[in-house]
Amino acid sequence: MPQTAAITRMTGAGAPPRLSSFANWADRHFKWLLVAPAVLLILALSIYPLLFSLVVSFINYDFQVPGHAFVGLKNFERVVFDPVARWSLLLTALLSGISVAIEFVLGLAVALAMVRSFPGRGVVMSILIVPLFISPVIVGQAWTLLLQRPFGPTNYILGALLGQEVTIGWLTESPWLYISLVVADVWQWTPFMFVILLAGLTSIPPNLYEAAELDGVNAWQAFWAITVPHLAPMMLLALTFRLLDAIRMFDTIFIMTGGGPGTSTYTASYYLYTVGFTQFHLSQATAGSWLFLIFTALVVTLLVRRLLKVETA
C-alpha cells in the first residue's frame, strides 16, 4: 500500500499573471489569427492570380505590344472556335475516363487479392505503393525507355511472345500512343485506387461474411450484397479524387509524346500550355484556362459536394 498523508488544504495558487494588452487581444482573436497566414497566402497566390487572369482574358496581353486593349470576348471566341481546343477537351475526357476506369477495376481486383493476410504481404504492399511517390515526369521517362523505338525492349518482347516481328511505334503511331499514355497513367495511379479500396475493404466487419456463409450465400452473391454496398462511399471518393487529378494530365505527355505527332496528344492542359508558353498568346491561354476552370468547377461541385454529403451522413 502506498503511503498516504492526511489531506490538507494548501495555500491557493491564485490566478495566473494578467495578460498584456497585446496578449489579451491575441487571445480574443485567436482563431482568426491562426487561419490568417494561410488564408492570406492562398488569397495572394490563388485568388488574386485568378482574378488577374480574368482581367487578362478580356484584354490583349502581349509582351511585345505595349498597351492592353480591351477586346471583349475575342479571346474566348478564339478558344471556343479552335478545333484543337475542342479536340484537346475531348481527348482529356476520353483519356482520363478510360484511365480511371481501368485503374478502378484493376485497383479493386488487387485490393480484393490483398485483403487477406499471407506471408510477405507487408513487402508486397510496400512495393505496390511505390509508383505513388514517383514524379509523373519520371514515370513518363520510364515508359519512354521501355517503349521508344528502337531502343525500348517492348517490341522485342512482344515479338518473342507472338513469334513474329513487331514494329509498333508506341509513341508516334495512333492508336498506340494513346494506349501508351493510358498504360503509364494506369501504372502510376492504380495503387491510388488500390490503397483506398483496400482501406475500405478491411473496414468491413468480417462477421458479415461469416453470417452470409451460415445463410448459404456464395462468394459472388456476397460480393454484391456485402462488399459493394459497404465499399460504395470509398469507391465514390477514390473515383472523384482520381478523376479530378486525371483531367489535368500533362507531365507524362510532355515527356512521352510532346503533344505530338502534330496535336494528336494535346490534352486541355497541354493545349493551354502551348498557347500560352510556346505561342505566347497569353490572353487566349488565360481565357481558355478560365473555361477549363469552369468545366472543372462543375465537376467538383457535382462530385465533391455529393461526396461530402456521403461523408457527413
Partner 1 sequence: MAAVRSARRPRRGGAPVARFVLLGFFLIFVLWPLYWMFNTSVKPSDDYLATPPVWFPTEPTLLHYEVALFTYRGLEGLINSLIISLSATALSALLGTTMAYSLARYNTGGQHLSFWVLSQRFLPPIGIVLPVFLIYRQVGLYDTHVGLIVAYTVFTLPVSVWMMFAYFRGMPRSMEEAALVDGCTRWEAFWRVAVPLAAPGIVAAAVFAFIACWTEFFFALLLTSRTAFTLPTVFRAFIGFQGAQYGEAAALAIVSLVPSIALGVLAQRHLVRGLTLGAVRG
Partner 2 sequence: MANVRISGLHKRYGAFHAVRGIDLDIPDGEFTVLVGPSGCGKSTLLRTIAGLEEISEGTIEIGGEVVNDLRPRDRDVAMVFQDYALYPHMSVARNIGFGLKARKMPQPEIDRRVDTAARMLGITQLLGRLPRQLSGGQRQRVAIGRAIVRNPRIFLFDEPLSNLDAQLRDEMRGEIKRLHQGISTTMIYVTHDQIEAMTLADRIVLMRDGLIEQQGAPLDLFERPATTFVAGFLGSPKMSFLPGRLESRAGSEGIAFGDQFLPLPNGRMAPRTSGDGSVLLGLRPEHLSRAPAGAPPPGCVRYDALVDLVQPTGSRSYATFRLAGEPVIAELQAHDVSRPGETLPIDVNMNRASVFDAATGKAI
12 binds, among partner 1, partner 2, none (CB under 5 to 8 A by kind): partner 2
Q: Interface residues for partner 2 in 7-66 (CB under 8 A)?
A: 7-17, 27
100 binds, among partner 2, partner 1, none (CB under 5 to 8 A by kind): none
Q: Distance from first CA to last CA of the chain, Å, rounded?
A: 51
Would residue 67 be called left, alpha or beta, if left means φ above 0 and alpha means ψ between -120 and 50 degrees? left
224 binds, among partner 2, partner 1, none (CB under 5 to 8 A by kind): none
- Contact between 30 and partner 1 (CB under 8 A)? yes
Q: Are 273 and 279 in contact (CB under 8 A)?
A: no
Shortest distance, position 305 Cβ to partner 2, whole Å: 21
Q: How many CB atoms lie within 10 A of CB 203?
A: 10
HEC sequence for 159-185: HHHHCCCCCCCCCCCCCHHHHHHHHHH
For partner 1, give the closer residue by CB, 58 or 136: 136
Q: Are 128 and 120 in contact (CB under 8 A)?
A: no
How many residues touch partner 2 under the rule CB under 8 A: the total is 18
3 binds, among partner 1, partner 2, none (CB under 5 to 8 A by kind): partner 2
Stretch that binds partner 1, among 2-10, 69-77, 148-156, 166-174 (CB under 8 A): 148-156
- Contact between 258 and partner 1 (CB under 8 A)? yes
For partner 1, give the closer residue by CB, 2 or 12: 12
Among 141, 172, 263, 264, binds partner 1 (CB under 8 A): 141
302 binds, among partner 2, partner 1, none (CB under 5 to 8 A by kind): none
Distant-in-sequence, close-in-space partners of 19: CB < 8 Å, separation ≥ 6: 27
- Contact between 25 and partner 1 (CB under 8 A)? no
In eight-state DSSP terms, residue 226 is I
Write down how long the chain is: 313
The cell numbers describing 19, all together, are 495578460
ω before 261 within 30° of 0 (cis)?
Answer: yes
How many residues touch partner 1 under the rule CB under 8 A: the total is 110
Q: What distances in angstroms separate CA 139 from CA 135, 253, 293, one per listed residue?
A: 6, 10, 26
- Rounded CA-CA distance 67/59 in Å is 10
x/- map, 269-288, partner 1, by CB under 8 A: x--xx--xx----x--xx--
Residue with cell 494530365: 249
- Contact between 5 and partner 2 (CB under 8 A)? yes
- Contact between 75 and partner 1 (CB under 8 A)? no
- Rounded CA-CA distance 113/242 in Å is 21
- Contact between 234 and partner 1 (CB under 8 A)? yes
Shortest distance, position 1 Cβ to partner 1, whole Å: 29
- Contact between 48 and partner 1 (CB under 8 A)? yes
Which residues are at the interface with partner 2 (CB under 8 A)? 1-17, 27
